[in-house]
């Protein structure tokens, strides 16, 4: 087997249901130069170190196409949707992230997520109420997708009715984050560009609306925000709103689905969660370690040569940080392939680490905790109807496309 | 039972006996003492464990005392340290240790009782340095801050709305107190003998940023000035403070934040290498005796310890750092019940944090050793930056203002003695970051208001050092 096959194997759909043996193989060489070009980093401490290394850039403009070999389909020079802070380095990253945090979390809005708890619980209860009279659902389409989408729409102030529109754009844009070296790059780039332009126009209009008639939502706060960093420029607003919409959209669905799949494969834990919903807190952390919805970060590049684990990664090279592999590194997590919600010191990489650590983590955590606890409490005798379930194509944002579940009945919901 | 003197005695089964039913005594029942006790049990020690502490409360956490407690968001009696596990110990709280007999292996308690041990851990920490004039220190309205009770009393007075608070000393503690006062909307004056706050700990360049930060938050900051006297009214209440520049301040509340004094008096005459600079121990946390010989049954951890560190020229370091207390307690506990080859050195890289005026300050390494400073990321003007300290051509320390995320990287640079100035390109390198400037520490021979890292030379005992208490 030549090394060149590693990257292809990761993106190869055949490995989607269980990529972990592949990662174990990969960890034998903590930093491996793939024949196609990128450097694959697969061990916990090396990934963690690089995520805290100021020599590593998230800005694709620092990629050197020659050193990188493969360049992921890029949104470079797309005037309608300039790079969001996900793809920027400090100081721009810090400034925009701070401004976005203003109406979202501490220190200025410490209670926003907490205050959404009741509303989230109501949405979850409502969705599970809808299962009554059925003996089978697709967890993805009937629950894990609509729940976070409803939430992010309410939070941002995006009309839920427009969901079919931005769902299609989000899918297309997210597929561009899937660095499949065999896909038809030119054709895909065209589609992605169209989707980005349309999403940008949509957001732009919405922002103008909120400018005229502000509401309680986060978009209104961002438009009218007046913190120490001032206000975002219009194009920054558009990019930030689009980032939040997409990030809040295409990730939590996989966390909930991966979580339920894992629970159904570990009935003892499911039973414990049924008996004690407080288990949801450590359990969600363990799902983020064991089956992370974001498997890898394929878009980092060194600003200068970096020596790590006996390898020199040259300036401008493409670096892939394989979070899901670091999460299974036996040097960091004892017995890493065991799903263990009682695991101590569970500093997983599921939300990344360092300055780009997931902005929405508190929301995603709460959503997944409420969702899994409610499912465990109310579904009678739930079981997997297909194992493994059919997965999405995407190797980066990995999760089942459908998760058919059978059950004997639905227990009563709590009084609102 | 009694393990052989010299303790190792591994071959003869004495260590096994010690682990099974030996007697371990810990003096100082706070952060280091508790974490050591937990580690001993975790390591399988099943003998008797006694914790002696002169405070009546079970172990509690101190960092919140100058932050959330003063703000009133957390009550002083709610900072009890979370327990990692049950320790099945005999607690002697509210009881001070007053003496140590090394030869007979006994700790003497106030009241005369003696407690025998096979292994002893000294974790008596430090206390607040009092205002040097006792009558003035006794005035109603003059405070120090070290204990939960201190914090509760100070909090009550702050909540009652004093006219103006005087903070004497602009180190970390004084700055945090001033920050809390401003957040409570109270007028506050900080008097600092050095040219800026935090200079003793971080040098003049960073001190200047701290000064601007304080002034921007409405602190009446007076630098290069000392408080020369505190004056009370007829009822013994503080009413005025006199400064070395001839001015006077009308104040009814003063907090003395002049650093700390090590709790080693109870060890006087014991034959241990203990003095005003702490209790000297080797990297394995074993105490030195006055002759500079290492003991094998007396261990030291936490704020009271001073240890040589290979990365910092084997100089003895005293660290008043929360993280150090925990790490050193764990190493000490491990070594207390482990045979020689399994023992570990305590090679913690100093790390400290402070929250003040909305800024999260963190440091790693030993900034006070720094000769030069490079602002490697961010900018001083924005008060969001990473400063890297150089010593003899290598990276020796780093400090971040609101840039915590990069600290890990610089810690590794310190560990690997990376060259200074760092040549590498990083994100967020600004014009500030093109060349190093002098770090601008005050003359180290002057006593400071209490940096939280102190370098104290090469002698394990240091009995000869003449100690000059810092004055306001
Ligand atoms: C207000 C405040 C804020 C702080 N903030 C920070 C921060 O932000 N970051 C940080 O890193 N560190 C901070 N620290 C420092 C940190 O709290 C200390 O490093 C830590 O408490 C050290 O633990 P220790 O167990 O070694 O000593 P201590 O906590 O001092 O405990 C020693 C104990 O021994 C007792 N004792 C003393 N003599 C005797 C005797 N003879 N007999 C019996 N018992 C005795 C003492 O009463 C005390 O209970 C702060 C400290 C204070 C006071
Ligand atoms: C289970 C759900 C989620 C997972 C696993 C997840 C994972 C991640 C990861 C790994 C990163 C780091 C990217 C990098 O370092 O390059 C990230 C960043 C980010 N996430 Fe999430 N995310 C989730 C949910 C959300 C939600 C609900 C939101 C929005 C409300 C969100 C918003 C963001 C944003 C804005 C960033 C960029 C942060 C930055 O660059 O500073 N995420 N996320």
Q: B336, B329, B335: which is closest to B305 by C-alpha? A: B329
pLDDT band at B468 (very low <50, low <70, confident <90, very high): very low
Average of pLDDT values for A45-54? 97
Give the model's pLDDT for residue A189.
78
Q: CA–CA separation, A314 vs A312, rounded Å?
A: 6
pLDDT band at A301 (very low <50, low <70, confident <90, very high): very high
Q: Distances from the Cα of B305 to the Cαs of B238, B274, B286, in angstroms?
A: 36, 9, 10
Percent of chain A beyond pLDDT 70? 94
pLDDT band at B445 (very low <50, low <70, confident <90, very high): low
Ligand 2 pocket residues where CB is under 6 Å: A 58, 85-86, 97, 243-244, 247-248, 251-252, 255, 293-294, 297, 350-352, 356, 358-360, 363-364
Core vs surface per residue B137-172: b (16+ CB within 10 A) or e: eebebbbbbbbbebbeebbebbeeebebbbbbbbbb
Average of pLDDT values for A191-203? 91
First to last CA, chain B: 51
Instruction: For residue range B329-350, list pLDDT tens digits in order.
Output: 999 999 999 998 999 999 889 9
Q: Are strands B188-192 and B165-168 parallel, antiparallel or unpaired?
A: parallel
Give the model's pLDDT for residue B315.
87
Which residues make up the CATH 3.30.390.30 domain(s) of chain B? 358-438
Q: What is the 3-state secondary structure (H, E, C) of B113-155?
A: CEEECCEEEECCCEEECCCCCHHHHCCECEECCCCHHHHHHHH
Average of pLDDT values for B373-400? 96
Q: Specify the CATH class of B134-258 in words.
A: alpha beta
On chain A, the residues whose CB falls within 8 A of the CB of B377 are 54, 90
If one compares A116 and A68, the residue with the highest pLDDT of the two is A116
Phi-psi region of B440 (alpha: psi -120 to 50; beta: other; left: phi over 0): left
On chain A, the residues whose CB falls within 8 A of the CB of B428 are 54, 89-91, 94
Token reading at B128: 């607040």
Q: Which of A144-158, A170-184, A236-250 has the lowest mean pLDDT?
A: A170-184
Average of pLDDT values for A7-30? 95
Residue B426, chain A, CB below 8 Å: the answer is yes
Give the model's pLDDT for residue A175.
80
Cβ count within 10 A of residue B396: 27
DSSP assignment of A142-189: IIITHHHHHHHHHHHT--GGGHHHHHHHHHHHHHTTS--TTS-HHHHH
Average of pLDDT values for B309-325? 91
Residue B242, min C-alpha distance to chain A (Å): 38
Give the model's pLDDT for residue B405.
94
Which residues make up the CATH 3.50.50.60 domain(s) of chain B? 14-64+79-127+261-342, 134-258
Give the model's pLDDT for residue B5.
44
Give the model's pLDDT for residue B11.
66
Q: Are A188 and A175 in contact (CB under 8 A)?
A: yes
- Measured from the Cα of A87, ligand 2's closest atom is 40
Q: Is the pLDDT of residue B462 over 70?
A: no
Q: Are B133 and B267 in contact (CB under 8 A)?
A: no
CB-closest option in A52, A54, A354 to B377: A54
On chain A, the residues whose CB falls within 8 A of the CB of B407 are 52
If one compares A180 and B74, the residue with the highest pLDDT of the two is B74
Give the model's pLDDT for residue A213.
94
Instruction: For residue range A338-385, list pLDDT tens digits in order.
Output: 999 999 999 999 999 999 999 999 999 999 999 999 999 999 999 999
Query: In this complex, do B406 and A304 lie within 8 Å of one another by their Cβ atoms?
Result: no
Q: Per CATH, which fold does A3-408 belong to?
A: Cytochrome p450 (1.10.630)
Instruction: For residue range A91-104, list pLDDT tens digits in order.
Output: 999 999 999 999 99
Q: Which of B47-51, B178-182, B420-424 has the lowest mean pLDDT?
A: B420-424
Give the model's pLDDT for residue A70.
58
- Measured from the Cα of B304, ligand 1's closest atom is 26
Residue nearest to ligand 2 atom 18, measured at CA: A358
Whether B146 lines ligand 1, by a CB cut-off of 6 Å, is: yes
Q: Is the pLDDT of residue A182 over 70?
A: no
On chain A, the residues whose CB falls within 8 A of the CB of B425 are 55, 303-304
Instruction: For residue range B108-162, list pLDDT tens digits in order.
Output: 999 999 999 999 999 999 999 999 999 999 999 999 999 999 999 999 999 999 9
Q: CA–CA separation, B203 vs B371, rounded Å?
A: 9
What ipTM does the predicted assembly reach? Answer: 0.86
**Coil vs helix vs strand at B213:** helix
Write down the H helix ranges in B44-100: 68-71
Ligand 2, pocket-test mutation among A179, A286, A359, most atoms within 8 A of CB: A359
Q: Is the pLDDT of residue A181 over 80?
A: no
Give the model's pLDDT for residue B230.
98
Residues linked to residue B17 through DSSP beta bridges, in sequence order:
none
pLDDT band at B446 (very low <50, low <70, confident <90, very high): low
Average pLDDT, chain B: 92
Interface residue of B426, B427, B430, B433 to substitute, partner A, most A CBs within 10 Å:
B427
- In chain A, where are the structural domains located? 3-408
The correct CATH number of B358-438 out of 3.30.390.30, 3.30.200.20, 3.40.50.300, 2.40.100.10 is 3.30.390.30
Q: Is the pLDDT of residue B423 over 80?
A: no
Give the model's pLDDT for residue A173.
86
Percent of chain A beyond pLDDT 90? 80
Q: Ligand 2 centroid to A365 CA: how many Å?
A: 11
Q: Per CATH, which fold does B14-64+79-127+261-342 belong to?
A: FAD/NAD(P)-binding domain (3.50.50)
Q: Are B244 and B226 in contact (CB under 8 A)?
A: yes
Q: CA–CA separation, B62 vs B173, rounded Å?
A: 11
pLDDT band at A230 (very low <50, low <70, confident <90, very high): confident
Q: Which of A44-53, A263-272, A406-415, B348-357 has the lowest mean pLDDT?
A: A406-415
Helices A252-265 and A146-156: crossing angle, nearest 10°?
Answer: 150
**Coil vs helix vs strand at A246:** helix
Q: Is the pLDDT of residue A72 over 70?
A: no
């Amino acid at each position: 087997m030549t090394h060149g096959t590693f990257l292809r194997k990761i993106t190869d759909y055949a490995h989607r249901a269980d990529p972990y043996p592949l990662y174990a193989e990969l960890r034998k060489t903590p930093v491996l130069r793939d024949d196609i070009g990128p450097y694959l980093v697969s061990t916990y401490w090396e990934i963690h170190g690089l995520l805290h290394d100021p020599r590593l850039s998230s800005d694709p403009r620092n990629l050197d196409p020659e050193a990188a070999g493969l360049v992921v389909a890029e949104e470079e020079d797309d005037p309608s949707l300039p790079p969001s802070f996900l793809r920027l380095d400090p100081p721009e990253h810090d400034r925009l992230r701070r401004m976005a945090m203003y109406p979202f979390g501490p220190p200025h809005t410490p209670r926003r997520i907490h205050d959404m708890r009741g509303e989230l619980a109501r949405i979850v209860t409502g969705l599970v109420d809808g299962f009554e009279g059925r003996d089978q659902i697709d967890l993805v389409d009937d629950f894990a997708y609509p729940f976070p989408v409803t939430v992010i729409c309410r939070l941002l102030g995006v009309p839920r009715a427009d969901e079919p529109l931005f769902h299609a754009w989000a899918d297309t844009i997210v597929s561009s984050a899937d660095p499949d070296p065999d896909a038809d790059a030119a054709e895909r780039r065209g589609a992605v560009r169209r989707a980005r332009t349309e999403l940008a126009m949509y957001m732009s209009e919405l922002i103008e609306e909120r400018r005229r008639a502000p509401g309680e939502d986060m978009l209104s706060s961002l438009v009218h925000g007046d913190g120490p960093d001032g206000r975002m420029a219009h194009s920054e607003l558009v990019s930030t709103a689009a980032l939040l919409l997409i990030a809040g959209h295409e990730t939590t669905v996989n966390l909930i689905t991966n979580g339920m799949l894992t629970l159904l494969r570990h009935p003892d834990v499911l039973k414990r969660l049924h008996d004690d919903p407080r288990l949801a807190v450590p359990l969600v952390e363990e799902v983020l370690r064991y089956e992370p919805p974001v498997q890898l970060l394929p878009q980092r590049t060194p600003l200068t040569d970096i020596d790590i684990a006996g390898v020199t990664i040259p300036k401008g090279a493409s670096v892939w940080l394989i979070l899901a592999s670091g999460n299974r590194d036996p040097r960091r997590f004892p017995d890493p392939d065991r799903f263990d919600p009682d695991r101590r010191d569970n500093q997983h990489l599921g939300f990344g680490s360092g300055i780009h650590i997931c902005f929405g983590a508190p929301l995603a955590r709460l959503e997944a905790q409420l969702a899994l606890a409610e499912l465990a409490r109310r579904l009678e005798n739930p079981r997997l109807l297909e194992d493994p379930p059919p997965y999405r194509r995407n190797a980066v944002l990995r999760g089942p496309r459908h998760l058919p579940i059978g059950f004997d009945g639905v227990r009563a919901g709590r009084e609102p | 039972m009694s393990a052989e003197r010299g303790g190792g005695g591994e071959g003869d089964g004495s260590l096994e006996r010690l682990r099974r039913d030996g007697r371990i005594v810990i003096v100082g029942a706070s952060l280091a003492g508790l974490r050591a006790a937990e580690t001993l049990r975790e390591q399988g020690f099943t003998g008797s464990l006694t914790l002696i502490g002169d405070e009546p409360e079970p172990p509690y956490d101190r960092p919140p005392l100058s932050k959330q407690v003063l703000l009133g968001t957390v009550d002083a009696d709610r900072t009890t340290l979370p327990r990692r596990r049950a320790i099945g110990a005999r607690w002697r709280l509210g009881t001070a240790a007053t003496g140590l007999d090394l030869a007979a292996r006994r700790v003497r308690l106030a009241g005369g009782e003696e407690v025998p041990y096979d292994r002893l851990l000294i974790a008596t920490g430090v206390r607040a340095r009092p205002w040097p004039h006792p009558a003035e220190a006794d005035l109603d309205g003059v405070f120090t801050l070290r204990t939960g009770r201190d914090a509760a009393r100070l909090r009550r007075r702050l909540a009652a709305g004093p006219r103006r608070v005087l903070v004497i000393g602009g180190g970390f503690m004084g700055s945090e107190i001033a920050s809390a006062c401003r957040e409570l909307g109270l007028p506050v004056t900080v008097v600092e003998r050095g040219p800026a706050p935090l200079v003793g700990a971080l040098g003049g360049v960073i001190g200047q940023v701290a000064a601007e930060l304080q002034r921007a938050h409405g602190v009446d900051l007076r630098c290069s000035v000392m408080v020369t006297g505190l004056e009370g009214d007829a009822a013994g209440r503080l009413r005025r403070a006199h400064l070395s520049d001839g001015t006077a301040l009308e104040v009814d509340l003063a907090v003395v934040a002049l650093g700390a004094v090590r709790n080693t008096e109870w060890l006087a005459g014991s034959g241990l290498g203990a003095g005003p600079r702490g209790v000297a121990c080797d990297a394995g946390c074993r105490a030195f005796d006055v002759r500079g010989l290492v003991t094998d049954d007396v261990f030291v951890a936490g704020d009271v310890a001073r240890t040589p560190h290979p990365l910092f020229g084997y100089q003895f370091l005293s660290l008043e750092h929360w993280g150090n207390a925990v790490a050193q307690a764990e190493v000490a506990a491990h070594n207390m019940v482990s045979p020689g080859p399994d023992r570990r050195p305590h090679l913690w890289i100093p790390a400290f944090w402070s929250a003040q005026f909305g800024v999260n300050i963190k440091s790693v390494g030993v900034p006070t050793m720094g000769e030069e400073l490079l602002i490697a990321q961010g900018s001083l003007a924005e008060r969001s930056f990473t400063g890297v300290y150089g010593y003899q051509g290598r990276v020796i320390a780093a400090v971040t203002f609101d840039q915590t995320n990069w600290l890990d990287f610089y810690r590794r640079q310190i560990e690997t003695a990376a060259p200074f100035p760092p040549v590498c390109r990083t994100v967020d390198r600004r014009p500030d970051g093109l060349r190093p400037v002098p770090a601008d520490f005050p003359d180290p021979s002057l006593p400071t208001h209490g940096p939280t890292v102190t370098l104290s030379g090469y002698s394990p005992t240091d009995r000869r050092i003449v100690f000059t208490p810092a004055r306001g």
